[in-house]
Chain A
Amino acid sequence: MSATTAPRRQRSYRALEPTGWGIVGRWIWLSIAAVFSFFPFYAMVVLSLKPGMAVELPGSLLPWGNISFSSYEQVLGGQNLLVWLGNTLIYSLVSVVIVLFLSAMAGYAFAKKRFRGKEVMFWSFLSMVMVPFHVTLIPTFIFMAWLGGVDTYWGLILPSLANAQAVFLMRQFIQGLPDELFEAARIDGAGEFRIFLRIVLPLCKPVLATLGIFVFLWHWNDFLWPLIVGKSSDMWTLTVGISSLQQQSVPLSVMLAGSVVALLPIFLAYLVAQRYVQEGVASAGIKG
């Protein structure tokens, strides 16, 4: 931007923006929307802290009076919540590591290499975009039952590693990297795998961070597959476990305490990686 156009631009930019009462008005309507949007989270936390009494509106929603952590003690102690939390962590973290690694490898080859069968392979990935996951559900389950993976960690994790979106994203990013970076290393005699580990992966850090947080989210929130493949309650993930709580006659405050515990890690992850999440959606259109 040249120095002469900058001031004019700024002035007219301001003209498009609300001024004076306009700013206040925008704040007010956005705040009202935010209150509605945030209300479920607020109610979840406050009501989980008020066990053992009938919910009375609006008194029960006040953030003070009769605060007690006993619902948390109950849900953490009595139920299998910690086991489910552990399972969810295993499911999410193991999948993140493997999906990132495999999709970076495949994306690198698709972006920078020429080999027999590349087009066929790539199109078979692409052709599946419009096929709903649920079409594959029954055959995947039958296959998994035949392999003996029902009610095991590997049976839970393995099918979720086939992630076409991750491969597309990595390919897209690596295509934008200049070839010279790899050529120089190749002339120095570095092997392909070494080039991948030492050059490609470090260059992919930003996209790996974005993709990583999404793969983590998808697995944390995944429901249908863990529901089907986890038969015994110590193989359940948080989503399956929490949904089973709702079918028992568990008090509201205990159920909500379970929700809070299950959602907290994902909110912390979002807080830390907010920039990557928002950029991932805005610039790459990763599905939320």
Chain B
Amino acid sequence: MSTKTTEPPRIDAPPASVSGPAPSPGARLTRLLSRREARIAFLFVLPAFLLFIAFRFGPSIVGVGLSFFHYDISGELDWKGIANFQRMVADPLFWRALSVTLLFAVFSVPIALALSTVMALGVRRAFRGSRFFRSIFFLPVITSLVLAGAVFKWIFSADGPWSQLMAPLGLGGSWLGSPVLVIPALIIVGVWSRFGYGMMILIAAMQDVPRELEEAALMDGANAWQRFRFILMPHLKPTFFFLAVIETTAAFQVFDVIYVMTGGGPANASYSLVYMLYDQGFKYFNYGYAAAIGVALFVMTLAVALIQRLVIGKQK
């Protein structure tokens, strides 16, 4: 699967054997066989498709529909029009959750991408130890932040190593207990868990750049920064876009790390959109309102995809 673009893969052309109107006995047999084959092929897709309809496609449609209803644990379904959205826009907690989510995304994505790039530049070619370093940097990607949450809670606690490291700068004390520093702490954890993924993708993309180009630039006296800026960067642009989009949409959905490390606190300082969705849905059982928050998340994701389309379109 190509990582370079998010363009949808095209449906392959139909096999030639099926087309053609020739009604000769041989052709009729082929058509009969291919009809049988088509039926079997349909059965091959069916289990995956039914699961998909039941647990992905269907719930997505229902999820959007539900945002126009009042629906709670009592099971009564009331059409409310856009009331849930009106409530959302008037809810200060929603704006808090939105700004927390955006703040997290706006900082964690570029920092993670920059770090991915630097690391990829460091380990992209084979040298003694390159595989070791790649593995070490990739390890956080496969690590669940829920399972590793305890150690991070300790690291950012008042007597943890991070606070002690930051104390000379006047930033001591528990970062997770501070309404100002809690988001930077979550950003650090988010970057830690994601930079290895971008690094791995960028290493692969950098290997596609012809070595001759870099060699030629070197002989023309280009320094390391110039070689990166003018030789590698233009080739890596689509990869950066790909990473920026998937990392941003993932950052919009930040939940696990907040759930285990701060519980949305202190004083809602780290209350994210998905956290709000979870609270409304599974603590207060306001299913309709929770669905409306889901729709907001969907719109944000679509906006990112749209921006990507526009930027790529402009470049072409």
Contact = CB atoms under 8 A, between A and B. Distances in A.
B189 to A, nearest CB: 9
A288 B42 contact: no
A121 B49 contact: yes
Given A121-B49, A246-B150, A12 B278 contact: no
A243 B149 contact: yes
A43 interface: yes
Contacts of A266: 142-144
Contact of A258 (B62, B150, B154): B150
B230 interface: no
B21 interface: no
A130 B305 contact: yes
A102 interface: yes
B63 A262 contact: no
A140 interface: yes
B139 A37 contact: yes
A178 B147 CA distance: 43
B59 A143 contact: yes
A94 B299 CA distance: 34
A285 B3 contact: yes
Given A246-B260, A278-B200, A288-B141, A57 B159 contact: yes
Chain A, interface size: which category?
35 or more
Nearest to B137: A37
B197 interface: yes
Contacts of A41: 139, 143, 148, 151
Interface stretch (B8-16, B83-91, B103-111, B179-187): B8-16
Contacts of A121: 45, 49
A242 B147 contact: yes
Most A CB contacts (10 A, CB to CB) among B15, B200, B214 go to B200
A106 B133 CA distance: 38
Of the candidates A47, A138, A171, the one having the most CB atoms from chain B within 10 angstroms of its own CB is A138
A38 B151 contact: no
Given A134-B253, A162-B54, A282-B201, 15 more contacts: A30-B133, A102-B48, A111-B12, A115-B39, A115-B41, A118-B11, A130-B302, A138-B63, A139-B58, A223-B255, A224-B255, A281-B138, A281-B141, A283-B204, A288-B196
Interface of A: 9, 12-13, 15-17, 23, 26-27, 29-30, 33-34, 37-41, 43-44, 47, 55, 57-58, 61, 102-103, 105-106, 108-111, 113-119, 121-122, 124-128, 130-143, 158-159, 161-162, 164, 167-169, 171-172, 175, 179, 192-193, 196, 217, 220-221, 223-224, 228, 238-239, 242-243, 245-246, 252, 255-256, 258-259, 262-263, 266-267, 270, 274, 277-278, 281-288
9 contacts: A118-B41, A134-B274, A137-B294, A162-B51, A162-B56, A171-B9, A258-B150, A285-B201, A287-B246
